[in-house]
Amino acid sequence: MPTFATVLQNLRRAARLSQEELAERARLSVETISALERGARRAPYRTTVQLLADGLALPASARQLLASAAASAARRGARRAHLDEPAAALPAAPPDDVASPPAGAFGRQTENLPQQRTSFIGREDVLVDVGALVRSQRLVTLVGPGGAGKTRTSLQIATEMLEAFADGVWFIELAELTNGDDVPAAVAHVLGIELSPAGALDTLVRSLRPKHALLIFDNCEHVVASAATVVAALLSGCPGVRVLATTRQTLGVAGESTYPLPALPFPVGVDALSTAEASSFAAVALFADRAAAADFGFALAEENALTIAEICRRLDGNPLAIELAAACMKFLSPQQLAERLDQRFLVLTRGNRDVSARHQTLRALIDWSYDLLDERERGLLRRLGVFAGSFTVQSAIAVGSSAQLAASDVLDVLASLIEKSLVLAESGNGERRYRLLESTRAYAEEKLAASGERDAVFSRHRRHLRDLFAGARQGVSRIAGRTEVRRLLTTESENVRSALNRPVLDDDVEVNRELLAALGAAWTRQPGIRARVWATIGRRKSRRPRVR
């Protein structure tokens, strides 16, 4: 850990302030600042640290750096009994789920992994696979949407690897950084390396060159370019260093092994579940564990197992969403919660107070990704919210292009939404299809409504389906046409159903009629569908066709 004097001096110089200017801004005397920077006064008062941080207009990460340097100065001072104030008056130690700095650069401490206060559930295969990857590759990236469990899983892997790295396993939390330029300082801070403001990355690489260590770069997505630069430099310059990164967006550097973290498994397509069967699925087990913690009276039982499985399915097996749902067991039954999941952003709002703001509500979880998008990506994501189920690249172009996004650019923007874990590319032998997770889709649709584009996009979706099915009917023969329509219906039935369930705008009455004509009898023969679609022809905007 660099001394408080060095940290203060570096931060002041980075802010391009003289001692006098800082003194004025922080409402402290020049002598105090001079004494602190010379090390003549080692452990400042907590209020002094706050005034300095305010005077320097520090972001959260740098504030923490300054406070940690002050705390460690106080600890050192206490040992020497040279304190200029009692240790109790100094900044409190970071909470135990925040990485605290080691005593010195690769001193006796060999890890800084935050203690977990809840149980880790499932993921046995993932731990084996990623563990093997980390042993064989120098850069492994755990990638997935918000709340998928990337950080938690990386910590589990790191814990299992403590013995494997002579110079330790280090958790570098990037989530709080507001500026990518701070990535080298964040790494240096955790490892207790003193950086000179110029050539910070070189100093880091030089210090780490002889080390054999695993570094976990946690939550890289919002500083992805800088994290990639630092990781690439470490991989090139430090042969014994390995990196396990967690991120919603891959780093995109040579040698990266990407591991997409799957959803927690949940049961599907069952109409009965014993308690034992249900709890063998990690998503249900997680819900049951967190619900029992929230409400002492809660128990997974045969009566609620199917409902809980359904909740987990609708939440895409996402651990954070499941934890937020389980917290609702304090005031809702599983059945009541399931009935309210259409309003998921209003219900899943009660995350623990001691977690980061982006994990306190489902909306904040997705806001974090949405806020990192550029305008074209945001626009496309909103419009993709119109698709129920999966869609093709042609459909994305037809519905997703706009005045701001040319049809020829849709594929490129779609690719970046995939890289940012907001759209899933489903694997398949033939044509690739794409899909939004249910929570992302609900979020996109909400944003679409707020943008005022919803009616226009619904209309384009309906027209696109009409064109698709009408085109399929134009086969070489009537039989070939019908076969093609039936084939299309196997992949597009959810889109058709949702289009037909929406109110028909006045301008779309004819389009709807044509869509129904193109679908023909094949539609009414879809399993589970009793369409009264013909009755809707010509109906007004306010009337909804009823399709079950």
Which region, judged by CB under 5 A, interacts with Mg ion, from 70-78, 211-219, 333-341, 492-500? 211-219
Q: Report whether 167 contacts 210 (CB < 8 A).
A: no
Q: C-beta of 341: minimal distance to ligand ATP in Å? A: 18
Which region, judged by CB under 5 A, interacts with Mg ion, from 5-13, 142-150, 298-306, 362-370? 142-150
Instruction: Report the residue number, 370 or 391, with the smaller CB distance to ligand ATP.
Output: 370
Residue environment code for 393-428, b if the CB has 16+ CB neighbours within 10 A, otherwise e = bebbbbbbbbeebeeeebeebbebbebbbbbbbeee
Instruction: Report the residue number, 71 or 327, with the smaller CB distance to ligand ATP.
Output: 327
Q: Quick one: what does residue 323 bind among ligand ATP, Mg ion, none, with the CB cut-off 5 to 8 Å set by partner type? A: ligand ATP
Rounded to whole angstroms, the Cα distance separating 312 from 268 reads 10
SS3 118: coil
Residue environment code for 128-154, b if the CB has 16+ CB neighbours within 10 A, otherwise e = eebbebbeebbbbbbbbbbbbbbbbbb
DSSP assigned state of 242: E
SS3 30: helix
Binding residue (CB under 6 A) for ligand ATP from 83, 121, 278, 341:
121
Q: Residue 504 contacts by C-beta under 8 Å, 6 or more apart in sequence?
A: 462, 512, 536, 539, 540, 541, 543, 545
For the window 217-236, what string marks contact with Mg ion as x by the rule CB under 5 A? Answer: --x-----------------
Instruction: Report the residue number, 150 or 363, with the smaller CB distance to Mg ion.
Output: 150
For the window 234-273, what string marks contact with ligand ATP as x by the rule CB under 6 A? Answer: ------------x-x-------------------------
Question: With contacts defined by CB under 6 A, how many residues of the chain interact with ligand ATP?
Answer: 21
Kindly state whether residue 146 participates in binding ligand ATP, applying the rule CB under 6 A.
Answer: yes
Length of the chain: 548
Instruction: Report the residue number, 207 or 421, with the smaller CB distance to Mg ion.
Output: 421
SS3 433: strand
Q: Quick one: what does residue 123 bind among Mg ion, ligand ATP, none, with the CB cut-off 5 to 8 Å set by partner type? A: ligand ATP
For the window 296-335, what string marks contact with ligand ATP as x by the rule CB under 6 A? Answer: -----------------------xx--x------------
Binding residue (CB under 6 A) for ligand ATP from 42, 152, 211, 447:
152
Q: Quick one: what does residue 45 bind among Mg ion, ligand ATP, none, with the CB cut-off 5 to 8 Å set by partner type? A: none
Kindly state whether residue 220 participates in binding ligand ATP, applying the rule CB under 6 A.
Answer: no
Which region, judged by CB under 5 A, interacts with Mg ion, from 105-113, 146-154, 376-384, 438-446? 146-154
Q: Quick one: what does residue 149 bind among Mg ion, ligand ATP, none, with the CB cut-off 5 to 8 Å set by partner type? A: ligand ATP
DSSP assigned state of 215: E
Cβ count within 10 A of residue 324: 25
Rounded to whole angstroms, the Cα distance separating 548 from 179 reads 51
Binding residue (CB under 6 A) for ligand ATP from 12, 41, 63, 123:
123
Instruction: Report the residue number, 222 or 464, with the smaller CB distance to Mg ion.
Output: 222
Cβ-closest residue to ligand ATP? 149
Segment 331-360, which members bind ligand ATP (CB under 6 A)?
358
Which region, judged by CB under 6 A, interacts with ligand ATP, from 63-71, 118-126, 191-199, 230-238? 118-126
Which region, judged by CB under 6 A, interacts with ligand ATP, from 91-99, 113-121, 328-336, 467-475? 113-121
Instruction: Report the residue number, 440 or 512, with the smaller CB distance to Mg ion.
Output: 440
Kindly state whether residue 361 participates in binding Mg ion, applying the rule CB under 5 A.
Answer: no
Q: Report whether 440 contacts 366 (CB < 8 A).
A: yes
Q: Which of 229, 175, 222, 169 is nearest to 200 (CA)?
A: 229
Q: Quick one: what does residue 466 bind among ligand ATP, Mg ion, none, with the CB cut-off 5 to 8 Å set by partner type? A: none
Q: Are strands 424-426 and 169-173 parallel, antiparallel or unpaired?
A: unpaired
Phi, psi torsion values for 506, nearest 5 degrees:
-50, -45
Q: Quick one: what does residue 173 bind among Mg ion, ligand ATP, none, with the CB cut-off 5 to 8 Å set by partner type? A: none
Instruction: Report the residue number, 53 or 230, with the smaller CB distance to Mg ion.
Output: 230
Instruction: Report the residue number, 171 or 434, with the smaller CB distance to Mg ion.
Output: 171
Q: C-beta of 472: minimal distance to ligand ATP in Å? A: 40
Q: At what angle do helices 319-327 and 282-294 cross, to 10 degrees?
A: 30
Phi, psi torsion values for 169, nearest 5 degrees:
-125, 125
How buried is 111 (Cβ within 10 angstroms: 0-12 exposed, 13-18 middle, 19+ buried)? middle
Q: Report whether 230 contacts 204 (CB < 8 A).
A: yes
Q: Report whether 243 contacts 232 (CB < 8 A).
A: no
Q: Report whether 280 contacts 265 (CB < 8 A).
A: no
Q: C-beta of 366: minimal distance to ligand ATP in Å? A: 10
Q: C-beta of 513: minimal distance to ligand ATP in Å? A: 45
C-alpha to C-alpha distances, 132 to 2, 127, 129, 136, 382, nearest whole angstrom: 35, 8, 5, 6, 38
Kindly state whether residue 400 participates in binding ligand ATP, applying the rule CB under 6 A.
Answer: no
Locate tokens 């009264």: which residue? 532
Binding residue (CB under 5 A) for Mg ion from 112, 151, 156, 536:
151
Binding residue (CB under 6 A) for ligand ATP from 6, 14, 120, 277:
120
The residues of the shown chain that bind ligand ATP, judged by CB under 6 A, are 118, 120-123, 144, 146-152, 219, 246, 248, 286, 319-320, 323, 358
The residues of the shown chain that bind Mg ion, judged by CB under 5 A, are 150-151, 219
